[in-house]
Amino acid sequence: MKFWVNNNGKEESVQAADKIRRELIAHDFVLDQKAPSLVISVGGDGTLLSTFHAYIDHLDTVKFVALHTGHLGFYSDWTDDEIDELVARIIEQGDDIPATSYPLIDVEIDAKDGSVIKGTAINEVIVRRLSALTLKTQVDIDNEYFESFRGDGLCFATPTGSTAYSKSIGGALIHPKVNVFQMVEIASINNRVYRTISSPIVIPADQIVHLYPQDAEDYVVNFDGKVVKLKDTECIKAQLSPQRAQFAQYRHRHFWTRVETAFLGKND
Q: Which residues are catalytic?
A: 45
Which residue, 160 or 233, has its beta carbon nearer to ligand NAD?
A: 160
What secondary structure, in 3-state letters, does the chain show? CEEEEEECCCHHHHHHHHHHHHHHHHCCCEECCCCCCEEEEEECHHHHHHHHHHCHHHCCCCEEEEEECCCCCCCEEEEHHHHHHHHHHHHHHCCCCCEEEEEEEEEEEEECCCCEEEEEECCEEEEEECCCCCEEEEEEECCEEEEEEEEEEEEEECCHHHHCHHHHCCCCCCCCCCCEEEEEEEEECCCCCCECCCCCEEEECCCCEEEEECCCCEEEEEECCEEEEEECEEEEEEEEEEEEEEEECCCCCCHHHHHHHHHHCCCC
Q: Nearest distance from residue 6's CB to ligand NAD, in Å?
A: 14
Residues in touch with ligand NAD (CB under 6 A) = 44-46, 49, 73-74, 123-124, 160-161, 163-165, 168, 224-225
Q: Nearest distance from residue 167's CB to ligand NAD, in Å?
A: 7
Q: Nearest distance from residue 73's CB to ligand NAD, in Å?
A: 5
Which residue, 14 or 225, has its beta carbon nearer to ligand NAD?
A: 225
Q: Which residue is nearest to ligand NAD (CB)?
A: 46
Which residue, 22 or 226, has its beta carbon nearer to ligand NAD?
A: 226
Q: Nearest distance from residue 185's CB to ligand NAD, in Å?
A: 15
Which residue, 41 or 163, has its beta carbon nearer to ligand NAD?
A: 163
